Amino acid sequence: MTAPSPWARLAGAPIVAILLFVLYGTIITAWFQGSAPWWLAGIAALLALKTLKAAGDVRRYKAWLAEWNAMDPQRQPQARPKRKLPSMQSVLVIMAGAMFVFPLLQAPGTPDSALKQIAWVISGLYLVFVLVRFILRRVRKGRSAEGEGESKPVSWLIDRASSSPSREDATKHLPDYCAGLLSSHEGQGE
């Protein structure tokens, strides 16, 4: 896997990405309120998508790099305290919620442009999609927990598995030709 570019690493860093999303949200909110041009809000939305992609690329690269480094037995992973940062999906939900609520907070006589109405509808549909997906995942998780509950009587009725023989016991009881093959193979490995 190739490493992300330095700009992608910078934009994909969690704190930088959150600050960028706040900036993008501010620009889009300013557009909703009529103090920023529509093209600036469009650029902010496109840059938000690019930042989201960069954050995903950096996350995948770090996971791959950790797996790669774990293959080296001499390299022990450094234990770092985990900081709880909001996920990118929660940032998107917050931005969509803001885009959905801010037009409702405007003064009653304020005229709305067609782009504001389209953005309001899209953010509302996104929020409904996230809510339905959340509910479906909860239902699926509940069903899988019920399935685990059905296996408990089986674990009560069946005894524990018997222990397996040690390697020494197993090699003592091998036929002569197998023991010879094993000893010649062990001799070559040293």
Q: How many residues does the chain have?
A: 190
Counting Cα atoms < 13 Å in the Cβ hemisphere of 78 gives 2
**Residue 139 covered by a domain:** yes
**Residue 174 covered by a domain:** no
Give the tokens for residue 189.
């490995």
Overall number of domains in the chain: 1
- Please give the Cα distance from 177 to 69 (Å, whole number): 41
Give the tokens for residue 23.
């900036």
Question: Is the confidence at residue 35, as pLDDT, over 80?
Answer: yes
- Please give the Cα distance from 130 to 22 (Å, whole number): 20
Question: Is the confidence at residue 120, as pLDDT, over 70?
Answer: yes
**Residue 48 covered by a domain:** yes
**Residue 172 covered by a domain:** no
Quick one: pLDDT band at residue 148, thresholds 50, 70, 90? low
Which position has the higher pLDDT, 24 or 150? Answer: 24
> Which residues span the domain enclosing 44?
6-74+85-153
**Residue 91 covered by a domain:** yes
**Residue 160 covered by a domain:** no
**CA dist 180 → 28, 59, 96, 108, 187 (Å):** 76, 50, 70, 91, 11
**Residue 167 covered by a domain:** no
Which position has the higher pLDDT, 49 or 163? Answer: 49
Give the residue from 171, 189, 187, 188 showing the smallest Cα distance to 179. Answer: 171
Mean pLDDT score of the chain: 78
